[in-house]
Amino acid sequence: MASLKRSVDSDPLAANISNKIYVRSTKSGKVQKIVREVYLRQDIPCSSRLCQRCQTVAPKDASGKLIPFVLSDSPAGTKVFPQGHYLVPDTNAFLTAMDLFEQDSAFYDVIVLQIVLEELRNRSLPLYNRLISLTKSEDKRFYVFFNEFRLETHVPRLEGETVNDRNDRAVRKAVAWYGEHLARIKGKDVPAIVMLSNDRDNLRKAKQEGINACSLADYVKQLKDGEKLLDMIPETQDQDNIKEKRPGDNLYPEYFSMSKMMTGVKNNLLHQGIFNVSPYNYLEGSIRVPAFPKALLILGRENINRAVDGDLVVVEVLPKDQWKEPSTQVIEEDAITKNENPDAEESDDFVSEKERKALQEEVKRTHSKTTEGHAQPTARVVGVIKRNWRQYVGHIDQSSVSQSAQQGRKQDSVFVIPMDKKIPKIRLRTRQVSELLGKRILVTIDAWDRSSRHPSGHFVRSLGELETKAAETEALLLEYDVQYRPFPKTVLDCLPKEGHDWKVPQSLEDPGWKDRQDLRDLLICSIDPIGCQDIDDALHSRPLPNGNFEVGVHIADVSHFVKPGNAMDAEASIRGTTVYLVDKRIDMLPMLLGTDLCSLKPYVERYAFSVIWEMTPDADVVGSRFTKSVIKSREAFSYEQAQLRVDDSSQQDDLTKSIRTLLDLSKKLKQKRLDAGALSLSSPEVKVQMESETSDPIDVKTKVHLDTMSLVEEFMLLANTSVARRIYEAFPQTAILRRHGAPPKTNFDELANQLKVKRGLDLSVESSRALADSLDRCVDEKEPFFNTLVRIMATRCMMSAEYFCSGTQAYPEFRHYGLASEIYTHFTSPIRRYADLMAHRQLAAAIEYEAIHPSTRSRGKLEAVCKNINVRHRNAQLAGRASIAYYVGQALRGKATEEDGFVMKIFSNGFVVLVPRFGIESLIRLRDLAEVEPQAEFDAETYTLQTSGSREVKVELFQKVRVRVTDQKDETTGKRGVKMELVRTY
């Protein structure tokens, strides 16, 4: 450190001291009065490159470094301010139009006032974070001016003044100060300081005080491409007047006040939870609250009362006479429970146990009665605690567009239909209707007034033509919140400088070789799907003199390249996983690492992290060790190649022999796993074949299972389990592990009953072993697919596996139900999963290869990481599936094929058919069966649907049916999807 002495001229006693006094209320409802000191100073620079004076007082950090000045010396001008200008937006401007500020075409040289930043943070944390990242971007030139700490711009609150008025005054004062400050620069045309605000009162006062001030709309109009940007300004502000004029015709009931809701929730009169919309019926929602075991139903527009899927809402249970008879359309309720999000946050512990129990009993009683045909508790939304609005992808509803709007440039209201069926139509005002028609567009919701049937929003950007590959892919990525932007420069800077020329150092003295074992002479190979570029894992085996085998799993040493805490690590931890779409891969790590430097490519030396076991010929592990290593893979096989090689008895070279050994051992390992009760589950998997030139989908193939696949799988499972034990031993509190909870028995009730009634089969679910065995017994000689069907259905009854930090669960909870393993983690794919990377770091520390990095052992951090990667992992899966579904639809486009399918779900008004050939399932409704909807009789006891009238057909559960598969564009969502028609039953 250069010098830690204080400079003499900044004596704190000379500083002016003020106090900031404010009142805050805590979660538990306490009101606290906080008094904070504020030291006012005169050495906070204006950060304009024009200003010489501020350069002299600019602050230095402890190592004597200056923060460079941000604001340009020749900022862009507008029509009104040709000499150039700096912008000073108020809080409202950021709150309503953050999208605008992120534009590339305008909004440079912005002064963000401290008071604005503060207010923004209190109002919306995501927006605050977006603004912070803007201030960090070099080319946007956003400067945070701490106006509250500068003596001249500090504004004490006057008596009787509201906080908002005081803050507005502070903004105006800062604008005025900037104006005067810059005016003192001699000899140059100083830029104008322009305040941006949408608050009329504030603008008026600014005009009075002689400050340049514009509303967002006025300002944007002065810009070159203003027309387009204009749409991004939310229009709710303009409506202030209109709303005042007619307060009478409100469609929705008013929300309760926050305090009323809080008191209600505390006293257990109201309930708080996350609002979920049924995917089959947008007018039916449900909310799971801690007080009741089952979700409460919320039916109808009025009761939903402007809640949008995902919002944190407060509901009131409706009187008993309004409880709804369970509809025969079981379809909705079923779907709800399937999509239930159990993450009910902020459960209130202050509810008296007695009261809760009483109410619970009440609901329980009713719940149990529902099976006998009684009413089910319903509720209505009385307020929203927190909106969970994001940006939605959708398209403009053609029918909502008026003729005139298609030509003119007049602002017009249209409806946007979101891709996500759970989101209501969004009203959008735009001037570019004609351009946006037929495009995928991104919109956000701004508000939902009582007087408006639909929420109103504004346009963010266009993704491109509907049904074009680029637009649909981007839409999919946005819907599943996949981070697909190119890696920023800061991340790329973390890559090795040598780029693709990076090599394992020749000299064994190189620090890279420290504690690394030389395994280059081993016959290592990798086996992966065809065309795999990011090769995570490679294997070897060799006989040992004592008759045992040495087996090694070598995993790409990603942690060597991605150091904890740097920008690349941060980016990877946000992305969490690589997302595989049919035609695209969104990498977690930059290409250079993923497909080259880390990838265990054949014929070149690579760093690896090896797990090496000694195994008996019966595949019992005698000993295991972990080491960082250098390997040289002899060959990269595809599953098919490897299989051919193993099967070809003329191949007797050492490499082939070692693969045979591995295969042999893997079969034994698998048997052991199955004996221990591991489940072999199933999900319909298909592969879309693309034309190589145009990459248009041409055909769909079901995936074939090869022995070599389970070879790789078994050793990866073994490696993961071994590593999990080791890191748990080293870090009992902070090891990153993966668990799979045992599913509640009730999950299987329906399936067990179905099997019993339809096939006379018993499904026992006491343990994973029992379940595995009874699944094995579920066979139908005539129909080999039946077993797979049952397995698919059983898989849907399971919980999803999750990452967790070992300190958060008791040891018995670590269990991985599906794999029947006591402890498990992910270690073998660090190139594409962040969890594996963390496991690598922890293992490296456990074997004392390197010191543990604080972030890898701070529990809070790890928990946050786990939470994020769990979400990312799930989204990646959903996005992958959605992508396959889209391409299956594309492949089927214009074709109509007849396929065999199986009935996997049956309702009173339709049934769901799974077509294994395409891995798709679809609902066939009664009204799809014939022109006139046939009458139907549904027997819930025997899961049979007998139709009569226009078409007579009898559909049973598990039945094999012949369906015609065509593609169809869903008019409401604009999604191309698969449509099935029943041809005949077998």
Strands (E), 186-258: 192-196, 213-214
**The dihedral sign for the CA sequence 379, 382, 383, 387:** positive
Among 69, 101, 107, 149, binds another protein (CB under 8 A): 149
Question: Is residue 29 part of the contact set for another protein (CB under 8 A)?
Answer: no
Question: Is residue 35 part of the contact set for another protein (CB under 8 A)?
Answer: yes
Classify residue 744 as left (phi > 0), alpha (psi -120 to 50) or beta.
Answer: beta
Q: Which span (1-9, 387-395, 540-548, 928-936) binds another protein, by CB under 8 A?
A: 1-9
- Between 61 and 353, CB nearer to another protein: 61
Q: Is 403 helix (H, G, I), strand (E, B) or coil?
A: helix
Residues 6+ apart with CB under 8 A from 872: 575, 576, 577, 834
The position carrying tokens 């090496």 is 612
Question: Is residue 22 part of the contact set for another protein (CB under 8 A)?
Answer: yes
Question: Is residue 807 part of the contact set for another protein (CB under 8 A)?
Answer: no
What's the closest the beta carbon of residue 113 comes to another protein, in angstroms? 12
The position carrying tokens 């009741």 is 292
- Between 22 and 811, CB nearer to another protein: 22
- Between 864 and 940, CB nearer to another protein: 864
The conformation of residue 324, written as its DSSP 8-state character, comes to B
Residue window 662-701: x/- pattern of binding to another protein, with contact defined by CB under 8 A: ----------------------------------------
Residue window 109-128: x/- pattern of binding to another protein, with contact defined by CB under 8 A: -----x--xx--xx------
What's the closest the beta carbon of residue 157 comes to another protein, in angstroms? 14
Q: State residue 942 phi and psi, 5-degree precision.
A: -110, 5
Using N-to-C axis directions, what is the helix angle for 834-846 and 859-892, rounded to 10°? 140
| Vertex 752 angle, CA 747 and 755, to 5° | 145
**353 to each of 234, 266, 343, 360, 361, how far by Cα in Å?**
46, 12, 22, 10, 12
Q: Which span (146-154, 430-438, 502-510, 867-875) binds another protein, by CB under 8 A?
A: 146-154
Question: Is residue 374 part of the contact set for another protein (CB under 8 A)?
Answer: no
Question: Is residue 751 part of the contact set for another protein (CB under 8 A)?
Answer: no
Among 49, 102, 146, 973, binds another protein (CB under 8 A): 146
Question: Identity (one letter) of the amino acid at 781?
Answer: E
Among 1, 160, 371, 486, binds another protein (CB under 8 A): 1
| Gyration radius of the chain over CA positions | 32
Distance CA 922, CA 954 (A): 18
Q: Which span (139-147, 423-431, 797-805, 898-906) binds another protein, by CB under 8 A?
A: 139-147
- Between 40 and 591, CB nearer to another protein: 40
- Between 118 and 165, CB nearer to another protein: 118
Among 34, 319, 371, 373, binds another protein (CB under 8 A): 34
Chain positions 537 to 566 lying near another protein, rule: CB under 8 A, are: 564-565
Among 4, 208, 248, 692, binds another protein (CB under 8 A): 4
Chain positions 826 to 855 lying near another protein, rule: CB under 8 A, are: 853-855
Question: Is residue 8 part of the contact set for another protein (CB under 8 A)?
Answer: no
What's the closest the beta carbon of residue 122 comes to another protein, in angstroms? 6
Question: Identity (one letter) of the amino acid at 978?
Answer: V
- Between 23 and 810, CB nearer to another protein: 23
- Between 24 and 320, CB nearer to another protein: 24
Distance CA 324, CA 320 (A): 9
- Between 20 and 500, CB nearer to another protein: 20
Chain positions 889 to 908 lying near another protein, rule: CB under 8 A, are: none
Contact 552, 612 (CB under 8 A): yes
CB atoms within 10 A of CB 293: 11
Q: Is 405 exposed, middle or buried (0-12, 13-18, 19+ CB in 10 A)?
A: buried
Q: Smallest Cα–Cα separation from 639: which of 630, 649, 647? A: 647
Among 15, 330, 504, 751, binds another protein (CB under 8 A): 15
Q: Which span (25-33, 699-707, 797-805, 832-840) binds another protein, by CB under 8 A?
A: 25-33
Q: Is 775 helix (H, G, I), strand (E, B) or coil?
A: helix
Chain positions 856 to 885 lying near another protein, rule: CB under 8 A, are: 858, 860-861
- Between 62 and 810, CB nearer to another protein: 62
Contact 794, 806 (CB under 8 A): no
Q: Is 605 helix (H, G, I), strand (E, B) or coil?
A: strand
Chain-centroid distance, C-alpha 836 = 19
Chain positions 55 to 84 lying near another protein, rule: CB under 8 A, are: 59-63, 67
- Between 30 and 485, CB nearer to another protein: 30
Cross-sheet strand order for the sheet of 960-969 = 920-925, 910-915, 897-907, 960-969, 976-985
What's the closest the beta carbon of residue 72 comes to another protein, in angstroms? 18
- Between 47 and 376, CB nearer to another protein: 47
β-partners of residue 194 are: 87
Residues present in the chain in total:
986
Strands (E), 487-595: 516-518, 524-528, 537-543, 549-556, 579-580, 585-586
What's the closest the beta carbon of residue 56 comes to another protein, in angstroms? 16
Q: Which span (7-15, 682-690, 923-931, 939-947) binds another protein, by CB under 8 A?
A: 7-15
Residues 6+ apart with CB under 8 A from 588: 572, 575, 576, 577, 578, 594, 831, 832, 833, 834
Q: Tokens in use for 305?
A: 């009362």
Bridge pairing between strands 296-299 and 976-985? unpaired
Question: Is residue 502 part of the contact set for another protein (CB under 8 A)?
Answer: no
- Between 3 and 407, CB nearer to another protein: 3
Among 12, 247, 248, 486, binds another protein (CB under 8 A): 12
Distance CA 508, CA 514 (A): 8
Among 101, 145, 392, 834, binds another protein (CB under 8 A): 145
- Between 41 and 271, CB nearer to another protein: 41
The position carrying tokens 């209109």 is 242
What's the closest the beta carbon of residue 58 comes to another protein, in angstroms? 9
Count Cα atoms within 13 angstroms, Cβ side, for 698.
Answer: 7
- Between 47 and 237, CB nearer to another protein: 47
Q: Which span (22-30, 323-331, 452-460, 842-850) binds another protein, by CB under 8 A?
A: 22-30
Residues 6+ apart with CB under 8 A from 131: 94, 98, 101, 112, 117, 120, 142
What's the closest the beta carbon of residue 177 comes to another protein, in angstroms? 16
Distance CA 922, CA 4 (A): 71
Question: Contacts with another protein: how many residues (CB under 8 A)?
Answer: 49
- Between 838 and 965, CB nearer to another protein: 838
Distance CA 505, CA 850 (A): 19
The position carrying tokens 């927006």 is 127
What's the closest the beta carbon of residue 583 comes to another protein, in angstroms? 38
- Between 17 and 940, CB nearer to another protein: 17
What's the closest the beta carbon of residue 350 comes to another protein, in angstroms? 17
Q: Tokens in use for 868?
A: 């994020």
Q: Which span (94-102, 145-153, 443-451, 771-779) binds another protein, by CB under 8 A?
A: 145-153
**645 to each of 34, 528, 533, 846, how far by Cα in Å?**
74, 14, 21, 38
- Which spans of this chain sit near another protein (rule: CB under 8 A)? 1, 4-6, 10, 12-13, 15, 17, 20, 22, 24, 30, 32-41, 44, 59-63, 67, 114, 117-118, 121-122, 135, 144-146, 148-149, 564-565, 853-855, 858, 860-861
